[in-house]
Structure 1
Amino acid sequence: MGIIGGILLVVGIILLVIYFSNKRKFEEMYTVETSTTAALRDVWQGVADEIGAGSFEQKTEINGVIECDQPIESELAKERCVHYRMSVERNWEEDYEEEYTEKDPASGRMVRKTRRGTRKGSDSVANNSRSTKFYVRDETGTILVDPEGANIDVEQVIDRFEPSSSVSRGNISFGGRSFSIGTSRDSGRRRTLGYHFKEWLLPLNRRVYIMGSASDRSGELMIQKPREKGKFLISLKSEEELIASAKSGMTWGLYGAIACFIIGIVLMILQFMR
């Protein structure tokens, strides 16, 4: 009972962290003013004329469509985009044998026993991500975006499992790319089940919401990671959807934390009273 109470208190702390994380996200999105690309350029030009270029920095939100003259190509789906992230994992299973001790009900002694079974797991074969600068176009014009350091809400385009029989001469191919697996991946009781390919990307010509810092510190006005503390978010979801999600996270995090704290404390008190 006391152990369960302790676990609930830990869960309550985790939920409280989730609550405050969503609260900060909600407050920042709610307080940062949404702007247009033309309005940002007007403010930037005024500051540059008055005190010189390179000193402008302003938190902002913009909405628009992704454009890029020289997009990158994702590794697996071979789609043109401005950001992608991919992973290849080897899924395996293995037989195991482990010793443990428990109290014998007849003699009351601690006896050593052996447990046997099969467990599954995975390990990484390949993991990569890549981004490029792009423009966001709204009804007033365009502005450059540097996605370096952003929390990017991407779209999953690949989620595919290939059985181990797909391996040929120590390699497995997908999307025109060959991944070296090796010829002796299986050892002892561990057996390869197959390979899981995943890829996420930020595609061209999609409407995007961006919260970051409009700055000319790199010599050109662009949206980029804030120099000081602050969120840098690029999302295919609308601001309204993100605010609704943050509100939901706040609600579940707060009430869940309160419930876990109350139940956990009650269980620990009952344990001490026994």
Structure 2
Amino acid sequence: MWIAGAALVALAVAAFYFMRHTKSELHTMIGTETLSIPELERFRGVSDELGAKGTFRKVAEVVGTAHPRPQGALKAELSKTECVWYRFEVERQYETVEYRDGKRRRTRRTEKVAGHTSQHGYAVIDDQRRTIGVDPNGTSPDRPEQTMDRFEPHRGGSGSMELFGISLPSVFGGGNSTTIGYRYKEWVIRPGRRLYVLGEVHDRIGPLVIGKPQEGGHFLISTRTEGELRADREKRHKLLAAGVIGGTLLGVVLIVAGIVS
């Protein structure tokens, strides 16, 4: 009993840190100003006049539509969708055979066998056709469009196989595992998709770019509006707070009960 209580307390501690992070995100969104690209250019101009060319930095929110980099749009790995950003992953579903207490047991499991997130930058373009670069820096956006969630059954054989241009071994984990199939998932941001970006605007490479703050802070790229994100964080914070209190109290009760008994 006390083991279950200790597990609940550990989960409550993890939820507490997640709750603090959520609250910090919410406060950052509330306290950060949404600026147009011309306004950011004016701020950069003042910085240049003060002799700080190339060192401009300002935390801001930017809203606009996704626009490809100068080299053109990307093509998503699996669906070949034109996009400015994509991520895919391939999961292997397999069955293992185990013997416990003289009994034969079959267990289904899943493991990730392939995946990739595009690292290329892109831009956000406003209603006046002014652009600002976006450096995703490996950050996955909030609520991208899912273009694929497809399961392909394994058709036998022990050699390698290829689907959607990706070569996959058909057997993992030794002779006691049997591959059932592969699940392919993919997410993209298409050109023209409306985006909300919270980050640090800088001019280190010349043109204005928004990315992850150099000295720590929040960096959000979302297909949702700021209002929708705030509502989501407020709801999440309340649920986590309830979980922290409830998990801690129940965990302590179970620990005490286990010790007493």
1:147 aligned residue: 136
Q: 1:123-168 CA distances to partner (integer Å, 9 max, x unpaired)?
A: 3332212132222122342212222243422222111000112879
Contact 2:135/2:211 (8 A) holds in 1: yes
The alpha-carbon distance between structure 1 residues 256 and 55, as it changes in their structure 2 partners (threshold 3 A), is same
Residue 4 of structure 1: how far off its partner (Å): 2.7
Q: 1:74-127 CA distances to partner (integer Å, 9 max, x unpaired)?
A: 0101011111111122211021113xxxxxxxxxxxxxx434300112333322
The alpha-carbon distance between structure 1 residues 169 and 115, as it changes in their structure 2 partners (threshold 3 A), is closer
**Within 2, Cα distance between the matches of 1:158 and 1:204?**
18
Which among 120, 145, 170 is matched to residue 132 of structure 1?
A: 120
Alignment of 1:51-200 (within 5 A): 51-68=51-68, 69=70, 70-98=72-100, 113-140=101-128, 141-153=130-142, 154-165=144-155, 170-174=160-164, 177-181=165-169, 187-200=174-187
The alpha-carbon distance between structure 1 residues 194 and 220, as it changes in their structure 2 partners (threshold 3 A), is same
The alpha-carbon distance between structure 1 residues 125 and 273, as it changes in their structure 2 partners (threshold 3 A), is closer
Find out whether 1:224 has 2:226 as its counterpart.
no
Contact 2:117/2:138 (8 A) holds in 1: no
| TM score, norm. by length of structure 1 | 0.86
Contact 1:72/1:131 (8 A) holds in 2: no
1:108 aligned residue: none
**Which of structures 1 and 2 has the bigger CA Rg?**
1
Residue 262 of structure 1: how far off its partner (Å): 1.5
- Point out the more displaced range, 164-173 or 205-214: 164-173
Residue 258 of structure 1: how far off its partner (Å): 0.7
Q: Aligned AA for 1:164?
A: H
Residue 237 of structure 1: how far off its partner (Å): 1.1
Q: List structure 1 runs of 4+ shifted beyond 6 angstroms.
A: 166-169
Aligned length: 257
Structure 2: gaps (5+ residues): none
Q: Aligned AA for 2:97?
A: D
| TM score, norm. by length of structure 2 | 0.90
Q: Aligned AA for 1:82?
A: V
Structure 1: gaps (5+ residues): 99-112
Find out whether 1:33 has 2:33 as its counterpart.
yes
The alpha-carbon distance between structure 1 residues 168 and 206, as it changes in their structure 2 partners (threshold 3 A), is farther
**Within 1, Cα distance between the matches of 2:44 and 2:210?**
12
Q: 1:248-271 CA distances to partner (integer Å, 9 max, x unpaired)?
A: 111011111111112222233333
The alpha-carbon distance between structure 1 residues 132 and 272, as it changes in their structure 2 partners (threshold 3 A), is closer
Higher strand share: 1
Residue 208 of structure 1: how far off its partner (Å): 0.3
Which among 197, 200, 209 is matched to residue 213 of structure 1?
A: 200
The alpha-carbon distance between structure 1 residues 38 and 166, as it changes in their structure 2 partners (threshold 3 A), is farther
Contact 1:82/1:131 (8 A) holds in 2: no
**Within 1, Cα distance between the matches of 2:156 and 2:228?**
41
Q: 1:160-196 CA distances to partner (integer Å, 9 max, x unpaired)?
A: 000112879732222xx242425x5584231110111
The alpha-carbon distance between structure 1 residues 186 and 44, as it changes in their structure 2 partners (threshold 3 A), is closer
Contact 1:151/1:232 (8 A) holds in 2: no
RMSD: 2.1
1:7 aligned residue: 7
Identity among equivalent pairs (%): 30
The alpha-carbon distance between structure 1 residues 246 and 55, as it changes in their structure 2 partners (threshold 3 A), is same
